[in-house]
Amino acid sequence: VEALNKLQIDFRTRSLLSVFEEDAGMLTNYTNQLLQSLQRVFGAQSEMGLATEQLSQQLLDYEKKNFALGKGDEEVITTLQNFAKTVGELNSLHSELANQMADSMVFPLIQFREKDLTGRATHIQLIIIAAMVKYSRLPKKKENEKLKSDLVKEVAYTRRKQHQASLQYYCALNALQYRKRVAMLEPMLGYTQAQISFFKKGIELVSKKMDSFLSSVSNMTQNIQAQLDVEAEAMRGSQRELLSVEDTVYMPDKDTEPVNRTLIQKAGYLNIRNKTGLVTTAWDRLYFFTQGGNLMCQPRGAVAGGMVLDLDNSSVMAVECEDRRYCFQITSPSGKTSMILQAESKREYEEWICTVNNISRQIYLTDNPEAVAIRLNQTAIQAVTPITSFEKRPEGGIHAASSDSQKTGATPEPEDLIAPGTPIQFDIMLPASEFQDQNRAGGRRTNPFGETDDDYSLLQQVFAVRFLGSMAVRCGNNQEVIYEAMRQVLAARAIHNIFRTTESHLMVTSSSLRLIDPQTQVTRISFQLGEVCQFAAHQENGRLMGFVVEGRDWSDGDEEGEPSFSTFVFESNTEGEKICYTVSLAKDITEAKKDPEALAQLMKNMPLTNDGKFLLLEPETGDTTNGAGQEDLESEA
């Protein structure tokens, strides 16, 4: 200061000034770092207030979730509401603490940095003595007294200002040593006082009224833990018991329980065959279940299932796949939609087929579907006894019904139509002698176009069919006998797991009905048209049809023989009504042959082909004449 009074700044003064400036610079850096730490504490406290507020709201939202397994959560809901109230009060304390930290901890240090440290830079920038530059440029020869006097006054004024600024700068450096001590202590004093106030209010909040509450919550938690321990021990015991069984329980096709054939609901995993190209397929494992009369499927990742197929009046049967077993096919009533599924075991395979068969009969629509399914299953078991070859018919079971029962208009009982215990034939096999005779005859085959060497028929029509079964009946003048035979044949196939069928060609001509092997063109069985006394299609499943054939029984020694009747049931790829219409037309042609005029009128009313034969259907059967090249008539078997 003494040197400054003399307007002189020596070396020692400059050295001392550099020490003060270096100290002030270090103080500035430290203050910035300290301020960052304090602001971080303040930010954490502010976040604490926001977090406790969100926590309180989440505790209140537990009641609004309506958990599906929330039974017994009433005490938990009440406790969480009390906790939410307490957390809300603590949130107000945290918010108040954050405000106190902002006022007494952060703000004083910010004020010190902006006022005392930033202001120092204005003192360091000393006044540049521009006046000395002007004074040094005065000419030596020609002196302007007025100009010289002005410059002298300006130099004196700037020196005074420099002196004054230097004094203020040095005084600020001296005062900074005291102010920094206050600035370092004041934030921590405010922080400590704010925390103490927070803790005091928190103790007043939770000291008395929270003790009993926390004690009850602790007891409730211990009780829940005790219940959990008991349940865990019971589950461990169940696990030990379940794991102690033999390995055969986990093996496929080792089910000891019998197949339940009365199911009307079924669920489980099945493999479904999907086409991936013209000739390639792939199998996908999906979850299927039945709902009412629909087959549902729930793909992977889906929240709910969607309908795959309407099972009402549908048909189901086993199919043979080259690379899979336990496969079955479900086909819609129209025959346009079908799918092939694979079960995981034989028991699942049989139960799925029985379930779909029960649903297709619309048992689920009755008042007590389980009882109806059980009764129908028991009735079918008692009514049918399946066989796979020709057997001798029971005595007294093949004769026609009495004329009195035929004349009555009431609906006949099943016992009046078919004798109880009548055997069923599920396949048509050629006798060995007949097969040898056909071979010795030169391998004669039936012409697929219906033409023979010794007979010219006005009508030839071929249908792709699958023989389901045949059985003896008591009468042949009632279509109800065909419907009852269909019911018993289908029930017997489902009960005894006989699902395999063989595809054949049914040829309808104006003189006969023939069942032909599509591969060898050998006639399996043939009936004269006059022997067919009844024919009908199923009333609900249009692809089922059947006809009744009249024969003679000479077992009693009567020369004329007693009339006997047999019903044959088929499933076709087309509508059964078309086959029945063709048979009806064939009978009309047979009757018209007796009267040339009637035959001419019939041929006039019906469309004919180029060779003069009756044209019945679309090209749907035109490609079925060749048994080895059929494309549209895929067998469900």
Q: What is the pLDDT of residues 393-417, one digit of tens each?
A: 343 333 333 334 343 455 677 777 8
Cα–Cα distance for residue pair 340/319, rounded to 1 Å? 8
Q: Is the pLDDT assigned to residue 440 strictly greater than 70?
A: no
* 426 in Cβ contact with 469 (< 8 Å): yes
Strand partners, 537: 545
User: What per-residue confidence (pLDDT) applies to 3?
Assistant: 47
Distance CA 225, CA 219 (A): 10
How many whole angstroms separate alpha carbon 407 and alpha carbon 409?
Answer: 6
Confidence of residue 267 (pLDDT cuts 50, 70, 90): very high
The most confident of the ranges 39-43, 65-69, 170-174, 623-627 is 39-43
Model confidence band, residue 132 (pLDDT cutoffs 50, 70, 90): low
The reported pLDDT for the residue numbered 618 is: 45
Q: Residue 56 — φ and ψ, nearest 5°?
A: -60, -40
Reported as half-sphere exposure (CB side, CA atoms, 13 A), residue 318 has a value of 20
Q: 567 with 548: CB under 8 angstroms?
A: yes
Which distant-in-sequence residues (6+ apart) come within 8 Å of 526 by Cβ? 512, 513, 514, 515
Contacts of 215 (CB under 8 A, 6+ apart): none
Q: What pairing do the DSSP bridges indicate for beta strands 423-425 and 385-387? A: parallel
Cα 549–chain centre separation: 51
User: For the segment 335-394, what is each residue's pLDDT rounded down to a tens digit?
Assistant: 788 899 999 888 898 899 888 888 888 888 887 888 877 776 665 454 443 333 333 334
The stretch 600-606 carries a mean pLDDT of 62
**For residues 56 and 69, what is the distance between their CA atoms, to the nearest angstrom?**
23
Count of residues making up the chain: 637
The one-character DSSP state at 252 is T
Instruction: Return d(Cα 452, Cα 196) in angstroms, integer.
Output: 117
Coil/strand/helix, residue 535:
strand
- 210 Cβ neighbours under 8 A, 6+ residues apart: 86
Residue pair 474/401 in contact (Cβ under 8 Å)? The answer is: yes
Per-residue confidence (pLDDT) for residue 399, from 0 to 100: 35
Strands (E), 360-486: 385-387, 423-425, 460-473
Sheet of 294-298: strand order equals: 306-310, 294-298, 281-291, 267-275, 338-342, 327-331, 315-319
Residue 128 DSSP one-character state:
P
Mean pLDDT rounded to a whole number for the chain: 76
Q: How far apart, in whole angstroms, are the C-alpha atoms of residue 226 and residue 113?
A: 60
SS3 string, 177-196, reads HHHHHHHHHHHHHHHHHHHH
- Of residues 273 and 132, more confidence is placed in 273
Q: How far apart are CA 584 and CA 616, in angstroms?
A: 12
Contact 266, 351 (CB under 8 A): yes
Phi and psi, residue 274, nearest 5°? -120, 145
Cα 352 to Cα 312: distance, rounded to the nearest angstrom: 15
Res 627: pLDDT: 37
**Residue 461, φ and ψ in degrees, nearest 5:** -145, 135
Of 528, 504, 540, 529, give the one whose Cα is nearest residue 584: 529
Q: Is the dihedral of CA 576, 578, 583, 588 positive or negative?
A: positive
